[in-house]
Chain A
């Protein structure tokens, strides 16, 4: 899976938002809010291969976090990305 390249991550007042225009008609249901870490992961992996292991490695390299917590958090982030259609099967 890769992180979609047609989505724009926008920062407003420290919050991060993405609008998914792929359904043709854009409406409120396609607005996603991301926290700082999720936004960082989104930008880092945009257009690249993504899975829990890769995200975990990235998070451990860049954040001060215990491995078990990273594992759980990264899995959750990937699930959220998937659920919200931010990822694409390659």
Chain B
């Protein structure tokens, strides 16, 4: 038996999913009454470590509030967990203030940004401050993008750029990214279609309050597409963690009734990812507790998505902690070990359910100029 499938690991995994569902849907109180199977202290340690690997420790923590005292983790772990929660909440608070200050900076320079992912998606959570955010992503139109770049260069800001459509920098300890594109699709034949799509939905882009500022985010329809395409992008590369799937489940729930499900289905079809979404939806319902009624269209009968949740489970947050490759070889393709083997494996897994994107993704990976530091 390998280290990934010991009895303790299996128990920890099952319990983690149970807690994740309870924590993700604290706004569905009936889940709190479902019986909980007690686990021992070593299994609790595993649960905590798995939750951290998948950056869902704060969501899982929310489930603990509803457990009876004799089912809780040992006190020393609970205290450690609590410290972690406090840090996550504080970081989110800081991020929100930082986002607000950046928004003011953009506006004062007559730039027109749109916030992508991150704290915008957090609004869809029952407890937004318990979603772990990484960097801050802004979408800027061509003119705003180049103006912002010039302004940052004038401030002697160290920039990292792909030379085309994205740049990133670190400010006050936060990674900020500017993008010209909203979607991470590599299929070049969709470029025009995606632009039209965004233009059409622009009038529906809502403003949400973050750090005291009204900040523009994507329309419900585009937000859902963006979150899910982002997942696909990472599945085609090195994997995603449970947190990204939580994002998907929460936005489907949160925006239910605010978009046209038929239109969403047509968009997925045009993007060539409709088949893949059936697997995604199946995973969301079976493992993340999303109600079938929150899905835009039903999962066709016969969809077997177990292999996909296995991949997600093993790879973790963007594949940084994938135990299967910890002794793999390093190459120029990525900082992650065995990068080519992993991308090829992903290609083989997804080529039938997201064919065009799988092909163009691997081509882009192999032939695109790697990120370089701007002098």
Contact: A12 with B78, CB < 8 Å? yes
- The contact of A26 among B69, B71, B83, by CB within 8 Å, is B83
Provide the residues of chain B in CB contact with A10, threshold 8 Å. Answer: 65, 82
B83:A11 contact, CB within 8 angstroms = no
Chain A residue contacts of B71, Cβ below 8 A: 13
Query: What 0/1 pattern do residues 209 to 230 of B give for CB contact below 8 A with A?
Result: 0000000000000000000000
Question: Are the CB atoms of A28 and B86 closer together than 8 Å?
Answer: no
- Out of B64, B80, B83, B86, name the residue touching A12 (CB < 8 Å): B64
Residue on B nearest A14 in the bound complex, by CB: B69
B174 at interface (Cβ–Cβ under 8 A)?
no
- The tally of residues in A whose CB lies under 8 Å from a CB in B reads 15
Cβ of A30 < 8 Å from any Cβ of B? yes
B69 touches A13 (CB 8 A): yes
Q: Which residues of A1-56 are within 8 A (CB) of B?
A: 8, 10-15, 17, 19, 21, 26-28, 30-31
Q: How many B residues touch the partner, as a band?
A: 10 to 19
Given contacts A13-B72, A26-B87, contact A19 B67 (CB under 8 A): no
30 residue pairs bridging A and B, Cβ less than 8 Å apart: A8-B86, A8-B89, A10-B65, A10-B82, A11-B65, A12-B64, A12-B65, A12-B72, A12-B82, A13-B64, A13-B67, A13-B68, A13-B69, A13-B70, A13-B72, A15-B69, A17-B79, A17-B82, A19-B82, A19-B83, A19-B85, A21-B90, A26-B83, A27-B83, A28-B80, A28-B83, A30-B83, A31-B79, A31-B82, A31-B83
Q: Interface residues, chain A, CB within 8 Å of chain B? A: 8, 10-15, 17, 19, 21, 26-28, 30-31
Given contacts A12-B78, A31-B82, 12 further A-B pairs with CB under 8 A are A8-B89, A12-B72, A12-B82, A13-B71, A13-B72, A19-B83, A21-B86, A21-B90, A26-B87, A26-B90, A27-B83, A31-B79
Residues of B within 8 A of A (CB): 64-65, 67-72, 78-80, 82-83, 85-87, 89-90
